[in-house]
Amino acid sequence: MNTNLVAIAAALAIAVSTIGPAIGQGMTARAAMESIARQPDAAKDIRSTLIISLALMEALTIYGLLIAFMLVAKV
């Protein structure tokens, strides 16, 4: 197996799996801050929901990192 291709594949796995969740996390955080600004009374509920949703989005990035590690381990 070509080492260069594996390195490129690992880099693409991390890059692609990071771009989507990063954009999603930014949009989610923006929406949560707008919601808290409109309804300060619901800040506690919004914050807890935000943290759970950010953790689920971050899991997608961790999967990409895992795939990159698996690719590099095959070298």
Question: Domain segments of the chain: what residues?
Answer: 3-73
What pLDDT was estimated at residue 59? 92
Q: Which two tokens stand for residue 14?
A: 């991390």
What pLDDT was estimated at residue 32? 96
pTM, to two decimals: 0.77
**12, 52, 63, 69, 70 from 21: Cα distances, Å:** 15, 14, 11, 19, 21
Q: Over the chain, what is the mean pLDDT?
A: 91
Amino acid at site 6: V
Tell me: domain 3-73, CATH 1.20.20.10, correct? yes
Taking residue 21's Cβ as centre, other Cβ atoms within 10 Å add up to 20
CA angle 60, 72, 16 (to 5 degrees): 35
What pLDDT was estimated at residue 1? 63
**pLDDT, average across residues 47-60:** 94
Q: Is 75's pLDDT higher than 80?
A: no
**In a 3-state reduction of DSSP, which class is residue 74?**
coil
Q: Is 26's pLDDT higher than 80?
A: yes
